[in-house]
Amino acid sequence: MTDEECVFCAILRGEEQASLIYEDDAVIAFADHSPVTPGHLLVVPRTHAVGLEDLAEPDGIRVWQVAHRLGRALRRSGLRCEGVNVFLADGEAAFQEVFHLHLHVFPRFTGDTFRIDAHWEIRDRAELDQTAAAVRAGLAALARGGSARGAHEPWS
């Protein structure tokens, strides 16, 4: 998908409508047009990045900072909000639907309909240690060569 085909880029250019919540030089936040619950917000970097691999770390930091502030604002908004989810879908297998990285921030309350249907299973220590070793190897690979698409890594 090119920037010209991206609905979030069109919103950023003012070509598509959005109910704006917040904006600065790095990000924009607006109400999701198909909310999980009333108050469902999207935080979108101004730079087109398909997923985490494409997003420069300073932009990612700013996305999370704004999401944190918006999550706190939801609790003070008067909307029904007994909890908050912050959710990122990175890739089609993770249910990403718009391929411009975005962070969902939405209120939760008893009886809402949002569910993540998964098989939550306690794993044995050997499997967890293998998983930890694989992720540490990924961190080491980032430190050696950075990411494939040039994001800045703090461990390098």
Active site residues: 102
Element (H, E) at 83: strand 83-88
CA dist 43 and 144 (Å) reads 31
Residue 3 · residue 15 · CB < 8 Å: no
3-class SS letters over 101-151: CCEEEEEECCCCCCCCCCCCCCCCHHHHHHHHHHHHHHHHHHHHHCCCCCC
Comparing CA positions, the residue from 101, 105, 94, 95 lying closest to residue 9 is: 101
Structure tokens at 126: 């050997």
